[in-house]
A and B are shown apart, each in its own frame.
Chain A
């Protein structure tokens, strides 16, 4: 099984492994609070923040309502600038298009800026299988590529990897350097990676990046980074390929500004990321640098089926990661447990949308509906509502586990019959109350193993409120 094959259906087993993994637990303890605090600070420093979120939501809603028009207009602008747009319906088509371009220019090495869409298509494995070496240049992506892993966070892909692990990884991989070199300082590790990747930037014939936005007004693709790796990946090779999905469109430069104003604040708490680059077409005749070819691969992979569905609002997502940074479930288990490309609340909605509810159906169930994701989402995506919609789809398809379905049926039978309900609860609570009264709770209870494995079950006081009320007030 390759790193990119979905493992979402093993969610429960993945969770057990993640909870037992000391490194993941260590990483989660330090990162989550860090992101949360920085975002809160950025929000508090910006009185207009919530109004900007409303505007950002409206911008994307307008785009989604007019998506075919915007895609055509965007495409025309890219062509005007001398670029090429390739429409791909499936991940496989997108991978093949990249390969076709690479083969045509005789490319042996492909440098990659950070692109989650390429994780969706499994581009790295595909290129490797076809004799082309993909090199991840984002530092976090580089680390996990060396480890043969997938990202565990959409903006901090190596967040689960500890410093000692990176130390060992670099010694095992960068074997041209003395084994006993001093890597005590974090800065020495950074310098080492910088030196090695700096050389690689000049070796690749093709650079692949993602896009944070595609601007219909100008035909520009926009990437937002802090490291500068995306820019080196797209400026130095002969060919730049932008891998982007349909919903990345924004109408105008002014709309791009609205999105930028909420993006970095939500993601890292920065007011602006370090590099925000707007690119259009290949280098001009008079340009001394930049790629000679500029291609945009416009991938659908299920998005067009989400438009008009109860999951359409998910297409507003700008991949800031705020939902997972604030999600107590993500913070407990980390990103790999989710088993595919997108973790956390946004992944819990996207995964079943993109690879099917049979594979990803557990993810929208693994939420307490605490609502923190929706509270912080810069695009005001109703994530809990959509997770609930997935649960309803599973229920309709009878994918809900039999025991849960049966339990729900029994409970509903009584809940809909107040007289019977009253008698049954009264009898049950009388028994439970008597049994548990002395100790106050139960260390084990039949049918409640999930609860009592980890905590006591508090005993009822004995006698229901409604029975006592009826006795006191003579009933009504």
Chain B
């Protein structure tokens, strides 16, 4: 008997399970308790997103329209004393912009990437979290190999909490290989139980919130 059959047989000694109950569970949708902090609307939702992202040590700037992104990007790089180079995916929204003198290259993350830019599908106001879908437009390695990780997010894509985030995610028909939920820059407390930012992933995370 295969390991699979042996395991399933042992489990079935205590009941094979109830297919109707399993189907009903999936059909019921989000019936768990909904935290108040994940149910905000309007400007309060955006304010909460920004506040929570900052609590998680991210920085946030709001820009008026996607056309303003290259200038804002250049200003951030200057302010952070970073070279005017940027690694991005082939996202059409980013491609369509005029990046001026910024040296933007497209592709996956390489061993040292001073600055990477990704695009988030959604934000979660509940916890200040970004949701990124991997794919040709958005290589997953850019999220982890950038020393400073920049993320562009449309204000209209900021969802209140998990419930409406999953609903919107399904509605957009997204089935990427990975969904990366990112809340602040990487960190570790493994040395001396002291929290330090920038463990293996980015040392800093900056969010451009696009109105």
Which residues of A pack against B, CB within 8 Å? Answer: 27, 30-31, 34, 46-48, 51-52, 54-55, 59, 62, 65-73, 81, 87-89, 93, 137-140, 143, 156-159, 162-163, 166, 186-187, 189-190, 194, 197-199, 201-202, 217, 220, 226-229, 231-232, 235-236, 246, 251-255, 257-258, 260-261, 270-284, 286-290, 298, 300, 304-305, 307-308
Does B136 lie at the interface of the complex (its beta carbon under 8 Å from any beta carbon of A)? yes
B7 contacts which of A87, A255, A261, A272 (Cβ < 8 Å)? Answer: A87
Query: Quick check: B141 and A272 within 8 Å, CB to CB?
Result: no
B3 contacts which of A67, A89, A162, A197 (Cβ < 8 Å)? Answer: A89
Query: Quick check: A289 and B111 within 8 Å, CB to CB?
Result: no
23 cross-chain CB contacts under 8 A: A51-B33, A62-B25, A66-B17, A69-B22, A166-B192, A186-B191, A186-B192, A190-B196, A229-B200, A254-B166, A257-B162, A257-B163, A272-B181, A274-B56, A274-B201, A281-B177, A283-B177, A288-B139, A289-B108, A300-B3, A300-B10, A304-B7, A308-B14
B201 contacts which of A27, A48, A227, A260 (Cβ < 8 Å)? Answer: A227
Complex: chain B residue closest to A164, CB-CB:
B192
Which residues of B pack against A, CB within 8 Å? Answer: 2-4, 6-8, 10-19, 21-22, 25-26, 29-37, 52, 55-56, 89, 107-109, 111-112, 126-129, 134-136, 139-141, 143-145, 162-163, 166, 169, 175, 177-194, 196, 198-202
User: How many angstroms from the CA of A260 to the CA of B165 in the assembled complex?
Assistant: 14
The minimal Cβ–Cβ distance linking B6 to chain A, given in whole angstroms, is 6
Query: Quick check: B192 and A140 within 8 Å, CB to CB?
Result: no
The minimal Cβ–Cβ distance linking A50 to chain B, given in whole angstroms, is 9
The 5 A-B pairs at the shortest CB distance, nearest first, are namely: A228-B201, A308-B14, A66-B17, A257-B162, A227-B199
The minimal Cβ–Cβ distance linking B135 to chain A, given in whole angstroms, is 6
User: How many angstroms from the CA of A152 to the CA of B82 in the assembled complex?
Assistant: 40
Residue among B30, B169, B189 having the largest count of chain A Cβ atoms under 10 Å = B189
User: How many angstroms from the CA of A167 to the CA of B56 in the assembled complex?
Assistant: 29
The minimal Cβ–Cβ distance linking B198 to chain A, given in whole angstroms, is 7
User: How many angstroms from the CA of A275 to the CA of B126 in the assembled complex?
Assistant: 15
| Chain A residues whose C-beta falls within 8 Å of the C-beta of B193 in the assembled complex | 27, 30-31, 34, 156, 159
Complex: chain A residue closest to B141, CB-CB:
A289
User: How many angstroms from the CA of A251 to the CA of B136 in the assembled complex?
Assistant: 29
| Chain B residues whose C-beta falls within 8 Å of the C-beta of A59 in the assembled complex | 32
Query: Quick check: B6 and A197 within 8 Å, CB to CB?
Result: no
Query: Quick check: B188 and A227 within 8 Å, CB to CB?
Result: yes
Residue among A81, A258, A272, A283 having the largest count of chain B Cβ atoms under 10 Å = A272
| Chain B residues whose C-beta falls within 8 Å of the C-beta of A68 in the assembled complex | 8, 11-12, 16-17
User: How many angstroms from the CA of A270 to the CA of B126 in the assembled complex?
Assistant: 12
A273 and B183 in contact, given A69-B17, A227-B200, A229-B199 (Cβ under 8 angstroms): yes
The minimal Cβ–Cβ distance linking A240 to chain B, given in whole angstroms, is 10
Query: Quick check: A235 and B56 within 8 Å, CB to CB?
Result: no
Complex: chain B residue closest to A140, CB-CB:
B190
Residue among B139, B144, B178, B200 having the largest count of chain A Cβ atoms under 10 Å = B200
Complex: chain A residue closest to B145, CB-CB:
A232
The minimal Cβ–Cβ distance linking B176 to chain A, given in whole angstroms, is 8
A300 and B162 in contact, given A87-B2, A231-B140 (Cβ under 8 angstroms): no
| Chain A residues whose C-beta falls within 8 Å of the C-beta of B177 in the assembled complex | 81, 279-284, 287, 290
The minimal Cβ–Cβ distance linking B71 to chain A, given in whole angstroms, is 27
The minimal Cβ–Cβ distance linking A81 to chain B, given in whole angstroms, is 8
The minimal Cβ–Cβ distance linking B28 to chain A, given in whole angstroms, is 9
Query: Quick check: A228 and B19 within 8 Å, CB to CB?
Result: no
User: How many angstroms from the CA of A270 to the CA of B21 in the assembled complex?
Assistant: 34
Query: Quick check: B183 and A272 within 8 Å, CB to CB?
Result: yes
7 additional contacts, CB 8 Å, given A65-B21, A190-B196? A65-B18, A68-B17, A140-B190, A231-B201, A278-B180, A283-B177, A289-B134
| Chain A residues whose C-beta falls within 8 Å of the C-beta of B143 in the assembled complex | 231
A93 and B3 in contact, given A139-B199, A257-B166, A274-B187 (Cβ under 8 angstroms): yes
Query: Quick check: B35 and A275 within 8 Å, CB to CB?
Result: no
User: How many angstroms from the CA of A384 to the CA of B32 in the assembled complex?
Assistant: 27
B21 contacts which of A66, A89, A138, A282 (Cβ < 8 Å)? Answer: A66
User: How many angstroms from the CA of A261 to the CA of B108 in the assembled complex?
Assistant: 32
Residue among B18, B139, B179 having the largest count of chain A Cβ atoms under 10 Å = B179
| Chain A residues whose C-beta falls within 8 Å of the C-beta of B52 in the assembled complex | 271
Query: Quick check: A186 and B3 within 8 Å, CB to CB?
Result: no
Complex: chain B residue closest to A300, CB-CB:
B7
User: How many angstroms from the CA of A280 to the CA of B188 in the assembled complex?
Assistant: 26
Query: Quick check: A277 and B179 within 8 Å, CB to CB?
Result: yes
Complex: chain A residue closest to B112, CB-CB:
A198
Complex: chain B residue closest to A56, CB-CB:
B32
A284 and B135 in contact, given A66-B17, A235-B140 (Cβ under 8 angstroms): yes
| Chain A residues whose C-beta falls within 8 Å of the C-beta of B144 in the assembled complex | 228, 231-232, 235
Complex: chain B residue closest to A261, CB-CB:
B35
| Chain A residues whose C-beta falls within 8 Å of the C-beta of B178 in the assembled complex | 235, 277-280, 290
A162 and B200 in contact, given A253-B166, A254-B32, A275-B180 (Cβ under 8 angstroms): no
